Amino acid sequence: MNNFLIKINNFFKVNPHKHWNFLLFIFFMLACMLVLFSFYLLYQIKNEKVFQVSIVENKDAILLKEPLLKSINEIYDKRASNVLEINSKASIYKDPSL
């Protein structure tokens, strides 16, 4: 027990080489675990065991309201014609700074 406490006390002393080695080991192990988990998840998805969505067919299709659709199309057609009209005309307003 006393030997264990001495090892812990020695670890917390400032020793950059030991700390860098420890950090590199921890991050390398985390990266390896992440890669292994990614391959496991890829295997599960390929075998259709996880993240599968069942397709539900909707038999009650909602039809569009044609008058509403036509009115919206008319609004956008008017906007497009206004934009073309504005772009084709010469500017009506004179520059006040002249």
Integer-rounded Cα radius of gyration of the chain: 35
Please report, for the chain, the start and end positions of each structural domain, with discontinuous segments joined by +.
Answer: 1-50
What's the token pair of residue 56? 């539900």
pLDDT at 1 over 70: no
| pTM for the predicted model, two decimal places | 0.44
- How far apart, in whole angstroms, are the C-alpha atoms of residue 95 and residue 46? 67
Q: What are the tens digits of pLDDT across the range 12-58? A: 777 788 889 999 999 999 999 999 999 999 999 898 888 777 777 77
